[in-house]
């Protein structure tokens, strides 16, 4: 039998975490591709404001359904098979939207893609958290968020170069099709690589496949690590039931509400207004199509760079400090954007505070919310419990994404930014987030998933 060194174990766990995180990359790619295409779609299909919002947000309806299905399936058939399903759905959506000749067909394939986004958004961080050693779990789950923002950045540049291949008339007719179709390539790569990763050891133990689980855990951290983890998982599963009613017990009821509120607050602080509609915002400020798409790529670059910093600090600084500091930065930036808009300051000020907001989000609320959601729920029903929180996250995302074009159309938000009221609403949500994290969210840095569960049963321990 081959003897593995500590470096071998680390390389192995990092490699499988990176493969699983490709689900996050496709999540980012598929949600952000709309940013470059929405203006051309609006002209191609003669969409009004509400229809434009529906074209942009329809995938999010599929996300909600995908999360619900994935939550049940991940507990029944395993995390890996759900990731394979999401890769298939990503591929079908990319091809279908690219070939659509009617808006109804386009919407149908966007919803199918949404199924894949929803499934990956829940299952990728869940899988990574369950296969990672406690001391690097936060960092590895944050890799999923890095993959999400990398997917967004890649598609921003893809959209930019596609748009440069022709004039606006060409983009209205053909260009947007290439933008959506380009997603088929990374989806196919994800599908192939998934056959190289093992199933989650925690799920395997729950299915009485202890030997397989031991082999996976041994490969991740050695035999001593595997024995210790198996012992803790078994002890936890003895206390678990397969029913969601466990989350309604006094010790766990608070866990569900913390997960739901954190998920909703990640979205209602306004992040996807900037990530999905940035080119349209820049166009309203007077930029041409190429310049607007390039400025959007700058937003994506800042998002990615500060996510890298978050990955390096989440296991050293901790979850709570990052969340509190990031929410403060986001709130200050949003209030500054609103003030600059109300005073009709130059577009440069708007861009500066927008980038400051993105940096604050990427450093904290973006990746750390997913880390916390992947950690706090009981093992036996983690898949379904996390799906509830993620459903609420996507529902909040849909509300923000659907309403933005209508606000835009009515000149409440964008028309030379002469009103800042909507940004101030998002800023108030940041204040709510600060108070909520400070009062209710425990620090989970360095704790095993089993220790975190014990905290809810015995809060004083």
Distances in whole angstroms, Cα of residue 461 to Cα of each of 51, 255, 321, 451 = 53, 16, 22, 10
Among the listed residues 306, 282, 305, 284, the one whose alpha carbon sits nearest the alpha carbon of residue 294: 282
Does residue 310 sit within a domain? yes
Which pLDDT does position 428 carry in this prediction? 92
Does residue 214 sit within a domain? no
Number of domains in the chain: 1
Which pLDDT does position 418 carry in this prediction? 45
How do the pLDDT tens digits run along the chain, 461 residues long?
Answer: 456 677 777 888 889 989 999 998 998 898 889 888 888 998 999 988 788 888 888 888 888 888 888 878 888 899 999 999 999 999 999 999 999 999 999 999 999 999 998 888 888 888 888 888 877 777 787 788 788 888 988 998 899 899 888 888 999 999 999 999 999 999 999 999 999 999 988 889 888 888 898 888 888 878 888 888 888 888 776 655 555 566 666 667 788 888 899 999 999 998 877 777 777 666 665 666 677 777 778 888 888 888 888 877 877 888 899 999 999 999 999 998 878 767 766 667 778 888 999 999 988 998 888 888 878 877 666 766 777 887 888 888 888 877 766 665 654 444 444 456 778 888 999 999 999 999 888 887 777 766 777 766 655 54
Which pLDDT does position 412 carry in this prediction? 44
Looking at the chain, how many residues does it have? 461
Domain assignment of residue 439, given as a range: 6-197+240-457
Does residue 268 sit within a domain? yes
Distances in whole angstroms, Cα of residue 290 to Cα of each of 41, 195, 293 = 16, 39, 5
Cβ atoms 336, 360 nearer than 8 A: no
pTM for the structure as a whole: 0.75
Calpha distance 154→175 (Å, rounded):
16
Q: In this structure, what CATH number is given to the domain that contains residue 338?
A: 1.20.1250.20
Which pLDDT does position 406 carry in this prediction? 67
Cβ-based neighbours of 39, under 8 Å, separated by 6 or more:
279, 280, 283, 289
Q: Taking CA 395 as the corner, what is the angle to CA 114 and CA 334, rounded to the nearest 5 degrees?
A: 110
Does residue 234 sit within a domain? no
Which pLDDT does position 420 carry in this prediction? 67
364 φ, ψ to 5°? -145, -85
Calpha distance 317→340 (Å, rounded):
33
Which pLDDT does position 419 carry in this prediction? 53
Q: Taking CA 122 as the corner, what is the angle to CA 427 and CA 209, rounded to the nearest 5 degrees?
A: 150
Does residue 211 sit within a domain? no
What is the SS3 assignment for the chain?
A: CCCCCHHHHHHHHHHHHHHHHHHHHHHHHHHHHHHHHHHHHHHHCCCCHHHHHHHHHHHHHHHHHHHHHHHHHHHHCCHHHHHHHHHHHHHHHHHHHHHCCCHHHHHHHHHHHHHHHHHHHHHHHHHHHHHCCHHHHHHHHHHHHHHHHHHHHHHHHHHHHHHCCCCHHHHHHHHHHHHHHCCHHHHHHHHHHHHHCCCCHHHHHHCCCHHHHHHHHHHHHCHHHHHHHHHHHHHHHHHCCCCHHHHHCHHHHHHHHHHHHHHHHHHHCCHHHHHHHHHHHHHHCCCCHHHHHHHHHHHHHHHHHHHHHHHHHCCCCCHHHHHHHHHHHHHHHHHHHHHHHHCCCCHHHHHHHHHHHHHHHHHCHHHHHHHHHHHCCCHHHHHHHHHHHHHHHHHHHHHHHHHHHHHHHCCCCCHHHCCCHHHHHHHHHHHHHHHHHHHHCCCCCCCCHHHHHHHHHCCCC
Which pLDDT does position 86 carry in this prediction? 94
Does residue 207 sit within a domain? no
**Helices 347-363 and 365-375: crossing angle, nearest 10°?**
20
Does residue 40 sit within a domain? yes
Which pLDDT does position 184 carry in this prediction? 95
Which pLDDT does position 272 carry in this prediction? 79
Does residue 208 sit within a domain? no
Which pLDDT does position 438 carry in this prediction? 92
């Amino acid at each position: 039998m081959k003897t593995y060194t500590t470096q071998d174990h680390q390389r192995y766990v990092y490699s499988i975490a990176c493969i699983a995180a490709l689900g996050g990359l496709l999540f980012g790619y598929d949600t952000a591709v709309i940013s470059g295409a929405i203006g051309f779609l609006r002209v191609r299909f003669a969409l009004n404001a509400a229809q434009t919002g529906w074209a942009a947000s329809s995938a999010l309806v599929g996300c909600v359904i995908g999360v619900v299905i994935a939550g049940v399936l991940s507990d029944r058939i395993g995390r890996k098979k759900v990731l394979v399903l999401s890769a298939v759905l990503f591929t079908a959506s990319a091809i279908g939207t690219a070939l659509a000749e009617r808006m109804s067909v386009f919407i149908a394939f966007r919803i199918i893609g949404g199924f894949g986004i929803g499934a990956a958004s829940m299952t990728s961080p869940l899988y990574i958290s369950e296969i990672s050693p406690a001391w690097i779990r936060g960092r590895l789950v944050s890799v999923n968020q890095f993959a999400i923002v990398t997917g967004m950045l890649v598609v921003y540049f893809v959209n930019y170069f596609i748009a440069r291949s022709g004039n606006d008339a060409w983009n209205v007719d053909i260009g947007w099709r290439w933008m959506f179709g380009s997603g088929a390539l990374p989806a196919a790569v994800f599908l192939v690589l998934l056959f190289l990763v093992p199933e989650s050891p925690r799920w395997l133990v729950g299915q009485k496949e202890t030997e397989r689980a031991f082999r996976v855990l041994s490969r991740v951290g050695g035999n001593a690590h595997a024995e210790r983890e198996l012992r803790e998982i078994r002890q936890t599963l003895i206390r678990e039931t397969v029913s969601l009613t466990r989350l309604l017990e006094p010790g766990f009821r608070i866990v569900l509400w913390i997960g739901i509120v954190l998920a909703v607050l990640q979205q209602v602080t306004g992040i996807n207004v900037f990530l999905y509609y940035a080119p349209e915002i820049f166009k309203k400020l007077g930029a041409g199509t190429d310049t607007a798409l390039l400025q959007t790529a700058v937003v994506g670059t800042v998002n990615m760079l500060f996510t890298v910093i978050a990955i390096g600090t989440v296991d050293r600084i901790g979850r709570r400090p990052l969340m509190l500091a990031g929410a403060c930065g986001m709130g200050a930036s949003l209030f500054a954007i609103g003030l600059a808009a109300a005073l009709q300051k130059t577009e440069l000020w708007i861009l500066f505070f927008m980038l400051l907001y993105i940096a604050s989000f990427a450093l904290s609320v973006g990746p750390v919310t997913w880390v916390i959601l992947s950690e706090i729920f009981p093992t036996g029903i983690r898949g379904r419990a996390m799906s509830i929180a993620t459903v609420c996250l996507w529902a909040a995302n849909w509300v923000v994404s659907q309403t933005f074009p209508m606000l835009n159309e009515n000149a409440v938000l964008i028309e030379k930014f002469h009103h800042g009221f909507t940004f101030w609403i998002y800023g108030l949500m940041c204040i709510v987030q600060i108070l909520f994290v400070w009062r209710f969210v425990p620090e989970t840095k360095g704790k095993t998933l089993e220790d975190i569960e014990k905290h809810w049963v015995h809060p004083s321990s």
